[in-house]
Amino acid sequence: MFAKSTTLMLLREEKQEFCRDLTAADANLQYNIINFSDKLL
């Protein structure tokens, strides 16, 4: 039981890290799109 909950905790942390990376990548992408459209105008 203990090992199972530890694995779940680790998975949850990895998921949070992945979501943070995804959010950062998304913000970066939006920034690049805004920059790019500014150059077009």
% of the chain residues with pLDDT over 90: 61
Q: Tell me how far apart the alpha carbons of residues 24 and 30 are, in angstroms, rounded to a whole number.
A: 10
Q: From the DSSP assignment, how many helices (H) and strands (E) are in the chain?
A: 1, 0
In the predicted model, what is the mean pLDDT of residues 12-39? Answer: 93
Q: Tell me how far apart the alpha carbons of residues 12 and 34 are, in angstroms, rounded to a whole number.
A: 33
Query: What residue type is 20 in one-letter code?
Result: R
Residue 26: is its pLDDT beyond 90? yes
Domain boundaries defined on the chain: 14-41
Q: Tell me how far apart the alpha carbons of residues 23 and 16 are, in angstroms, rounded to a whole number.
A: 10
Residue 1: is its pLDDT beyond 80? no
**CA 34 to mean position of chain CA atoms:** 20
Calculate the average pLDDT of the chain.
89
In the predicted model, what is the mean pLDDT of residues 8-25? Answer: 93
